[in-house]
Chain A
């Protein structure tokens, strides 16, 4: 059974700061997912990655398979980035497994 740990649990930063959220997992995976949930909103998939690095706008996700670790970075943070960011992993069984989730990181960006 995979254990997914995220840090920090809560993060408050000023607008414009560079943000890093970390995720580690205990067992081999087929993919790692970064998800976003705004207050009162639904869950949106930001990235799915199995190696290397992906970038979308101001968001960057990296993964190190050997170290079982991933990071989500936000450059030039903005108050609209305030949300819960959730790391989740797909098991190595076949790719379509149900996800195992971390507890989430509550991010607040103050203007």
Chain B
């Protein structure tokens, strides 16, 4: 079974440019999460999809960030326009959908390292 994959692994862009990150979850995982680690800080939650629906986007920093999960498979996270403080590592994770409303193990992708200059 393939794990969670993310593309690109690294991205260096200039302030004001647009970047799109992609996450492919484990096949059959309806839950998909985006997280971010800014240098020196703990990992923070950005948003949660259940299939194609946004379940919780309370962690999205501002409206420069747009996440989509068309068809309930892969997800994209677009930052437009990018600012210096958007630099960090963006992780995606996926998990099974539990019918019993209990937590399931989340499987993490390798992350995308974003540097905004």
Contact = CB atoms under 8 A, between A and B. Distances in A.
B107 interface: yes
Interface residues of B, number: 32
Interface in B70-115: 91, 93, 95, 97-98, 100-111
B14 interface: no
Most buried by A among B42, B56, B108, B111: B42
Given A45-B107, A101-B43, A102-B42, A95 B48 contact: no
28 contacts: A30-B102, A31-B102, A33-B106, A42-B109, A42-B111, A43-B91, A43-B93, A44-B108, A45-B105, A48-B103, A50-B102, A86-B43, A95-B101, A95-B102, A96-B50, A96-B95, A96-B97, A96-B98, A97-B56, A97-B103, A98-B35, A98-B47, A98-B48, A99-B43, A99-B106, A101-B42, A101-B43, A104-B42
